[in-house]
Amino acid sequence: MTIPIRRSTGAAPTWDRYKSAVRKVDRDSLLVQAAVATAQIAREELPDELTRMGLTPWCVADVARTALSWSRFERPEADLQTLLRL
């Protein structure tokens, strides 16, 4: 499975920029993507490529926690690409 990811050449995102990026995505769809990724990790079905890109249990948990705390409804729907970007 190949997923193109845009890599930033700038500095690492700050907390405010990260929180802002999460807030721009629909909370429910982002949580669904986090649940799918978590299930794949638990069943050891996650492709190694995604793990190397940083899709780890801790990162998925952080995105889900941030979405629950700061995100809202009725935003653009999240997909796997969105989860990887965050």
> What integer pLDDT is reported at residue 72 of this predicted model?
77
Structure tokens at 54: 């940083």
**In the chain, pLDDT over 90 holds for what percent of residues?**
34
pLDDT digits (tens, 9 = 90+) for 8-42: 556 667 888 988 888 888 899 999 999 999 999 99
Report the percent of the chain where pLDDT is more than 70. Answer: 85
Select from 11, 13, 31, 10 the least CA-distant residue to 82. 31
Fill in the DSSP letter of residue 62. H
**Mean of all residue pLDDT scores within the chain:** 83
The Cα–Cα gap between 82 and 5 comes to 10
How many CB atoms sit inside 10 A of residue 78's CB?
25
Q: Identify the sign of the CA torsion 26, 28, 29, 31.
A: positive
